[in-house]
Structure 1
Amino acid sequence: MKKTLVLGASLNPSRYSNLAINRLVSHGHIVEAVGLKKGTVAGVDIATEQKDFENIDTVTLYLNPKRQEEYYDYIISLKPKRVIFNPGTENPEFYKMLQENNIEYEVACTLVLLGTNQY
Structure 2
Amino acid sequence: MKNVTLVIGASTNPNRYSNIAIKRLRGKGLSTSAIGLRKGKVLDVDIDDEKVPYTTIDTVTLYLNPKRQEEYYNYIISLKPRRVIFNPGTENMEFIKLLKENNIESEISCTLVLLSTNQY
Q: Which residue of structure 1 lines up, in the alignment, with residue 28 of structure 2?
A: 27
Secondary structure of the 1:19 match is: helix
Q: Which residue of structure 1 lines up, in the alignment, with residue 81 of structure 2?
A: 80
Shift of 1:42: 1.2
Shift of 1:22: 0.2
Q: Contact 2:3–2:56 at 8 Å: present in 1 too?
A: no
Letter in 2 for 1:85: F
Shift of 1:2: 3.6
Letter in 1 for 2:47: I
| CA RMSD, 1 decimal | 0.9
The correspondence of residues 100-115 of structure 1 with structure 2, limited to 5 A, is: 100-115=101-116
Structure 2 distance, partners of 1:27, 1:42, is 13
What is the TM-score with the length of structure 2 in the denominator?
0.97
The correspondence of residues 9-88 of structure 1 with structure 2, limited to 5 A, is: 9-88=10-89
Query: Aligned residues: percent identity?
Result: 68
Structure 2 distance, partners of 1:87, 1:2, is 23
Secondary structure of the 2:9 match is: strand
Secondary structure of the 1:57 match is: strand
Structure 2 distance, partners of 1:36, 1:46, is 9
Q: Which structure 2 residue ranges, 5 or more long, are not aligned?
A: none
- 4+ runs of 1 displaced by more than 4 Å? none
Q: Which structure 1 residue ranges, 5 or more long, are not aligned?
A: none
